Structure 1
Amino acid sequence: MTDPTPETNFDPKAFRRALGNFATGVTIITAVGENGEKVGVTASSFNSLSMDPPLVLWSSMKTARSCEIFETATHFAVNILASDQMDMSNHFARQQEDKFAGMDWQEGIGGAPLFPNCAGRFQCETYDKLDGGDHWIFVGKVVAFDDFGRSPLCFHQGSYAMTFSHPGATKKPTENAGKPAHAGRMGNHKFFLMLQAVQGYQDRYQPKLQTLDLNLIEARALLVLAASDAMTADELLAPLNSPMVEVKAALANLTGRDMIAKNGDKYILTDAGASKADQCWALADAHAEEAFSEFSQDQMDTFTTILRKLV
């Protein structure tokens, strides 16, 4: 008889990658300590909890330098980032002497900083703190909020993402029966078509990438480093299109697997990493050949030219 006891002694790296399948929003949580010290951290652990009373929650590593202030603060603010605030997410994910220097912000309830141009903001009175293993779970009672209705910044499988309407989510009205699937303004808008094309292409590519025991950001890191002599974590931010915390996690995983090595503050490929990068290129080429097989060489040349113009 099969033992019904679930297996809990699993690979933490594989566990992290599996958790990455759950897409989240991106927030910056802020607060002010008893001595007036401001803190702000990038977090994807935010979630709603209760409507009556209105409660939300988020979590922080117990060992984080900012955690002590969040533990004693009377209030905290949740700034839900909009899709064009990726740089702000990266900024507050880095360790810095003063994260607020040069930033545009205003004082909220209890002194917690609020940022402009967000998708939404919640000002919270500290309600409870719960033990969550290596994290503290902070529960806040919402005392004020702003809904700006901007498109949110999202995070999925180690990379930033954006939202767009699922084509199957809205039932087409009967008067549109017989119209092409891409009829209408949205269906013909180049930007939305590009977003859907990239998402569809990536959704079909990721399961293949997993056969190399890599997630998307790890594979990108190997490919970028294969085209460069050496790069720092900061230099990898833009080409990897991910928050600093995820960039560092990917670099740590690849270092632990002897695929990259550190030379001062720069990362370089090892022989094993170069070999794995070659496998990534082979997989990417095979996927591209499959995806574009129905198009002529002239069409592909035109497509490549357009993409290079847009970069």
Structure 2
Amino acid sequence: MRFLVTGSAGFIGFHLCRRLLAEGHQVVGIDNFSDYYDVALKHARNAVLETHHNAFKVERLNLEDQPELSRAWEAAAPDVVIHLAAQAGVRYSIDHPEAYVSSNLVGTFHVLEAARRFQPKHLLAASTSSAYGANTEMPFRETDKAVHPLTLYAATKSATELMGHSYSHLFGVPTTFFRFFTVYGPWGRPDMALFKFTKAILADEAIEVYGEGEMSRDFTFVDDLVEGIVRLAGTIPGTRPVEGDTLSPVAPFRLVNVGGGAPSNLMDYIGELEKALGREAKKTFLPMQDGDVRATFASANLLEALTGYKPSTPISVGVPAFVAWYREHYGA
């Protein structure tokens, strides 16, 4: 099949493209190689895709550039489109809100307009567990009302879900949005905790532990996430809902959590990192930051009902896998 993946040089996009290529698919990636974090890491990911896979091509463009996006989309003629590109970072959105309006809202609008014009067999798009915002009932279920976002990042991602539903209803594009839960693993983002903790511990510097270490997250290993996305790509929203489904009554549209439903305490996560590195971290305990939530906890029931799968890699396996990659990549 022919896939178009936006954000192909990003952490998740890279892993997804590599998996699709390994399965023999044709993949066109779209990425603007933004400098939100180390561009060299993005180029290194892209080099893996370009060097080892003749079936891969990357288009270097901004989604905000609608004519260029339309040109690339028409040339790729994809069967399936997976939209991962976005301005990431919960805390960054507090000081740089304009980046989220431009990338997440305008960029996604242009993706939806292209889907309206070119009609892929299935459009999939990334959302976030941050959409659950101030919700306190656990686990988070896709059918829960989620109307109290705590950051503009969360608000823009929730808005893209609503935009996607409206386009699916009006123009009949089968659409699946998925909410991610704290994804980690090899080739991860330098702005995320595991990467920052590893770098600091190896440099014998203190790590900053927010929420006094009492937070918990439904950590999702990146390979598990990719497995969920690939399975959902073949699960096109139709007319027959399953139990607990979010299938729209007026559109071929569905919203799905991709998380394992097994949250871990932040201190346990750090403990696994200390074991993998063979040294104890110096810790500076700090209060929760603006926009943070105390816990995330996914219900994986719908994902499992639709695909027969749910993420299951424990942090005792996933964290050492990240450390092994970090040591090799950076010669640490």
Pick 1 or 2: higher relative contact order, CA cutoff 8 A, min separation 6.
2
TM-score bracket for the superposition, by shorter chain length: under 0.3
Indicate the structure with greater strand content: 1
Largest Rg, 1 or 2: 1
